Structure 1
Amino acid sequence: MISQPEATIFLADQRGRSEVDWFRSFHTFNFGEYRVEHRQPFGALQVFNDDTLASQKSLSLQVEENMDVILLPLVGAIEYEDSLGEAGILEAGQVQILNAPEGFTYKITNPYSDELINFLQIWVKNQSDTFVPHSNNFTFDFRTKNQLNPLFATQAQGWIGRYDGRVQDTYPLLDEAHGVFVFVIEGAFEVQNRLLHPRDGLALSQISEVEFEALSNNAIILIIELPM
């Protein structure tokens, strides 16, 4: 049997929520006007927002310190542009990594005329002495199921995988001094003996590996290893 690490569960229905008629954002951690005890950032992971944006609407944000901003479309595509002059379209199956300096701004637009889009915004504090502002995007796919696929590598390491029901897997940490944040995008998983449903999160520390099992078909899991 595996040991129980230090863990905090972030249930989907207990996240912070910001909403207007054209935009809705769920905050795993404190963000904007949402400030609640015990919702402080987890290590270098500062922001983990699950956002839905209406057609033809735009959202602008600014970072106040050096950050690695990860944009991950889940439903539909997003149009983006930033203060470094980068712009483009990011579709589901792609991820954008913005190495954003203090004061960096970016805008996300829903390019569709009549469809909602859903995407994750993930901010990881970048404390590198050799920080250089730039951006990259990568494409991933789930043609090979039941394994973790590399998603991004910055100050943190991101992995994503689609699994069949009852398939088990293990993620070994690259550095046991790091923490791990697990987020279920679709389906259900048991992670370190804890049941997680769609959009639930789990923060783990003092652990050398993460064991998990998919409890439904086409279940999608996101795993982020990061400095504490």
Structure 2
Amino acid sequence: MKNNILHTADSRFVADHGWLKSAQTFSFHDHYDPQRIQFGALRVLNDDIVHGGKGFGRHPHDNMEIISIPLEGTLEHQDSMGNVAVIEPGEIQAMSAGTGIYHTEFNKDPDQPVTFLQIWLYPDKLNVTPRYDQLDYSKGDMHNKFLQILSPDPKDEGVWIQQQAWFHIGKLDKDFDTNHSLKRAGNGLYVFVVKGNIIVNDQALGQRDGYGFWPDSDVKFAATSDAEVLLMEVPEKW
């Protein structure tokens, strides 16, 4: 039987590098916890704050699906495929690193920090041609419903990646409740509360809490305050 996992906000490892403060749900770089390696294909969930004018210098990735979701401020991206872009709250960026890419991420605002979620998923196909995708989802309907912002199908809603995964995001009013159906039988669901407080099935969650489980039926959500919630549906194996 697959176990449910609860990662409270205060249980995350916090790496403070001065210019970067990173709250890490799973083991990352110098931080290793054998009990917190991944949830299915979800390998990294970092809640990063980058100070004004600072950022990640040119560095490589390969065979990983890399997703960035800004929450506050703006983040500039440049990569070896020739892409130069700025992503803001209400947008999602996805890269299939495949055979290998180099990229940089910088906060171009000298005064204001940028807060963003850095998410890595293992791909279901190795050594693909690297690719970049970006979407402004801010005009989509997220009010008391979950808007799809990522999928494995380039013809479906959202950015697409090389994995049988689906992301949804919703902004729920206090006392609102709803159900959510997974896209693929056998997948797991990792819920991350960006803001507010919710109950998922019978599990209460607060701001920046994470909860991973393996539903066998629709998932029940109830908002106990105004809330913003990210749903990450991922396979156990691939």
Q: Same fold (TM over 0.5)?
A: yes
Identity of aligned residues (%): 30
Aligned residue for 1:140? Answer: 137
The separation in 2 between residues aligned to 1:6 and 1:207, in whole angstroms, is 13
Which among 150, 172, 181 is matched to residue 181 of structure 2? 172
The separation in 2 between residues aligned to 1:95 and 1:10, in whole angstroms, is 23
- What letter matches 2:138 in structure 1? D
Give how far 1:77 is off. Answer: 0.9
Q: Deviations over 1:156-207 (max 9, x none)?
A: 1100000100111111111221111100000011012111111100011153
Give how far 1:111 is off. Answer: 1.0
- What letter matches 1:150 in structure 2? Q
TM-score w.r.t. the length of structure 2 is: 0.88
> Larger deviation: 146-155 or 128-137?
128-137
Give how far 1:208 is off. Answer: 3.0
The separation in 2 between residues aligned to 1:105 and 1:215, in whole angstroms, is 42
Is 1:182 the counterpart of 2:191? The answer is: yes
> Larger deviation: 193-202 or 140-149?
140-149
Q: Deviations over 1:40-84 (max 9, x none)?
A: 111111111100000000114533x41111110000110011222
The separation in 1 between residues aligned to 2:107 and 2:7, in whole angstroms, is 28
Structure 2 runs not aligned, ≥5 long = 152-160
TM-score w.r.t. the length of structure 1 is: 0.92
CA contact (8 A) 2:12 2:24 kept: yes
Listed as ranges, the matches of 1:104-183 within 5 Å are: 104-128=101-125, 131-141=128-138, 144=141, 145-153=143-151, 154=161, 155=163, 156-183=165-192
Which among 195, 204, 225 is matched to residue 195 of structure 1? 204
Aligned residue for 2:12? Answer: 15
- What letter matches 1:202 in structure 2? Y
Q: Deviations over 1:7-60 (max 9, x none)?
A: 110011110111111110011111001111310111111111100000000114
**May I ask how many residue pairs the two structures share in their alignment?**
223
The separation in 2 between residues aligned to 1:149 and 1:21, in whole angstroms, is 35
CA contact (8 A) 2:189 2:215 kept: no
> Larger deviation: 177-186 or 100-109?
100-109
Going from structure 1 to structure 2, the CA distance change for 1:11 and 1:67 (only over 3 Å counts) comes to same
